[in-house]
Amino acid sequence: MSIDVRHSEDADKYLATDQLVWFGEVTDADADHLRLGLPEDQRFVVDLPDGPEDHHAGIYGVRPMEMSLPGGAVVPIAGLTWVGVHPDARRRGVLRAMMTDHLGRTRAAGTAISALHASEAAIYGRYGYGVAVITHQVTVGRGTELTAPHLEDEVAGITTHLVTMSDPGVAERMRACQVANAPDFPGTIIGSPDFFSLLTLEIPENLRDKERRRVLFARRDGEDIGFIGLRREHKWDQARPSGTVTAGTFCGGPAARLAIARRIVDLDLMGTTKLENIGVDDPLLGWVGGPRGTGSLATWDSTWIRLVDLEAAWPLRSYDTDCDVVVEVEDRYAPWNAGRWRLTASSGSGAAERTDADADITLDVAVLGAGYLGHSIGGLLRAGLVRERRAGAYAELARAMRTAVEPEPSIGF
């Protein structure tokens, strides 16, 4: 049976389907989430002939976003989100139809890359998405010493300032900082101005026993140069204050991050600082002397990347070493990518050309997505997830795609 995917024409029904799929508390702010989060022409739905009637069978949406790549280019991406299938319509191919639709539309719009955060790890690999960024969730104790001798001069000129996230102008300041820093931190995803308004929206339901979210800005010479979002929670243990401050994603260069980190590990009445989104090569792990300098460390997948148009995507980023390999790409859902490509990188620039030459490597397009932001994919050969036909060819490809520093995790979208 072919499943038709079309534009949403009923915002209430779209929202109701999302609320059913995600079964959270329904609040008046949900409509704001839809309004600010998804442009009307980027909402898509599936209805099946046998229902459900009061909801869609499936929905998805695309946030128009930008992402920074190795080399510093900032390019448009399709931020796939709001994916949900009605519980009665599960496992009947609705998601498959929506993903096929998304890839076709994204390519037709001239956007080479799709990105997402996955609710479950098993869903998106089959559609050609690869785990492109790994993130750590780290806790550190109050007063943890952060050692960075070669940043001290720069840190001395930086001040930090606590403001309330939902206050007027804060969303704009956060976005401006992110735009300025993105080229230096490949993997940074930049949302639209509306998306930042959404991020900073403080809904009453989330404030029942919590403080308003704050933002700690780092400033130098009167300019914002970095920030982190945070929220404190009280706890008293044996009459001693031992609250937790939970902080989001760092934005800023190393010195700005150090100034921010020193303040958030030493906030009054707190015992623990929990950093929810720290890149694998984030300086924090160096400042505390490695994993055991933290209180705890957990590892998760952050951004998943899908090369929707391999030929267009390959030259958008830069490459640290040269390569010249023929890759047989398997791509069931974007057949225009499938087949043999000569992928080259020379003096930093990449080119992808169709070829009839024998393949050096056979791999799924998801592998190229996983390596696209510079994350190491070298281990996938040992794991048996790629096939090498010319000895050394895969290492050549993996080395060229890898960057000196692992890519930056992205804020949830």
Ligand X SMILES: CC(C)(COP(=O)(O)OP(=O)(O)OC[C@H]1O[C@@H](n2cnc3c(N)ncnc32)[C@H](O)[C@@H]1OP(=O)(O)O)[C@@H](O)C(=O)NCCC(=O)NCCS
Binding site for ligand X (CB under 6 A): 21, 83-85, 90-96, 118-120, 122-123, 126
Least separation in angstroms between CB 234 and ligand X:
33
Cβ-count burial of 338 within 10 angstroms (0-12 exposed, 13-18 middle, 19+ buried)?
middle
Q: What would the two tokens of residue 386 be?
A: 């790629």
- Taking phi over 0 as left and psi of -120 to 50 as alpha, with beta for the rest, 401 belongs to alpha
Least separation in angstroms between CB 306 and ligand X:
13
Q: Which is nearer to ligand X, 119 or 321 (CB)?
A: 119
Q: Which is nearer to ligand X, 95 or 216 (CB)?
A: 95
First to last CA, the chain: 32
Least separation in angstroms between CB 60 and ligand X:
8
Kindly state the helix (H) or strand (E) to which residue 4 belongs, with its residue range: none
Q: What would the two tokens of residue 372 be?
A: 């696209």
Residue 124 known to be catalytic? yes
Quote the CA–CA distance of 282 and 21 in Å, as a whole number: 35
Q: Which is nearer to ligand X, 81 or 166 (CB)?
A: 81
Quote the CA–CA distance of 69 and 65 in Å, as a whole number: 13
Shortest CA distance to 138 belongs to which of 264, 28, 239, 17?
A: 264
Q: Which is nearer to ligand X, 160 or 303 (CB)?
A: 303
Report the residue closest to ligand X, judged by CB.
Answer: 95
Shortest CA distance to 196 belongs to which of 172, 218, 178?
A: 172
Least separation in angstroms between CB 56 and ligand X:
11
Residue 413 known to be catalytic? yes
Least separation in angstroms between CB 98 and ligand X:
8
Of 124, 185, 195, 333, the active-site residue reads 124
Least separation in angstroms between CB 79 and ligand X:
11
Distances in whole angstroms, Cα of residue 35 to Cα of each of 8, 44, 194, 320:
13, 14, 9, 41
CB 81 within 8 A of CB 413: yes
Q: Which is nearer to ligand X, 93 or 378 (CB)?
A: 93
Cis peptide before 52 (omega within 30 of 0): yes
**What is the β-pairing status of strands 296-301 and 270-279?**
unpaired
Q: Which is nearer to ligand X, 85 or 115 (CB)?
A: 85
Of 14, 44, 129, 413, the active-site residue reads 413
Q: Which residues carry out catalysis?
A: 124, 413
